[in-house]
Amino acid sequence: MTVQPGGVGAQVPAQDVSVFVLTIPGLPGASAKIVFQEIVDIVSEIEVAQPVPTGAPAPGPGGTHTKQQMGPTLPPTVTLKRGLDGDTTLWQWHQLALDGAPPARQNAVLGMYTAADYAAGKPPVSAWNLVNAWCAKIAIAGAGAGNGVVGETVDIVCDTLSLSRVVVPVAASAGP
């Protein structure tokens, strides 16, 4: 639920986001923006540590209640997919990571757009900041002869991931 102006809670419809733009301004000698057709997933995860006994009795004979503890965080990962084209930016970025080169770690922004907003040059519906991101994996999935587009899937790992912008549509006021 999103709180609208005036403090009234209302359901806000989901946006039809279909264009995903990864902007990597500091990547040497490469294009700054890469367009993707799909977000496979965005993962931020905390491992579950060994449970700690609370001392409280648990249901059943001789049981002891335990409390799950938060363990170490895993690095956030963003997986994106697009059709393979002539742009080699992702391969260059991945090669920097394979070489262990410091420029492999870049701050990046993943903008999510509706098709209409992207075509009109409007700002993204939402944007994610990826701090010290690097291209950890590239996979090329082929199509058979005469059978469509070859796809490129990339896994981008970063130190931190944060949502930096969410545009919430505001319903028109019905008046006083």
In the chain, the amino acid numbered 149 is V
Q: What one-character-per-residue DSSP string does 135-163 give?
A: EEEEEEE---TTS---EEEEEEE-SEEEE
Q: Taking the domains of the chain in order of start, what are their residue ranges?
A: 15-46+70-164
Residue 25, φ and ψ in degrees, nearest 5: -65, -25
Mean pLDDT over the full length of the chain = 82
Tokens of 103: 């420029």
In the chain, the amino acid numbered 87 is D
- What are the tens digits of pLDDT across the range 53-90? 666 665 666 666 667 788 898 999 999 999 988 888 99
pTM comes to 0.77
Give the three-class secondary structure for 97.
helix
- What are the tens digits of pLDDT across the range 147-164? 677 899 999 999 999 998
In the chain, the amino acid numbered 119 is A
Q: Is residue 126 a contact partner of residue 165, using CB atoms and an 8 Å limit?
A: yes
- What are the tens digits of pLDDT across the range 126-137? 999 999 999 999
CATH superfamily of 15-46+70-164: Hcp1-like (2.30.110.20)
Give the three-class secondary structure for 115.
helix
Mean pLDDT of all residues in 88-106: 94
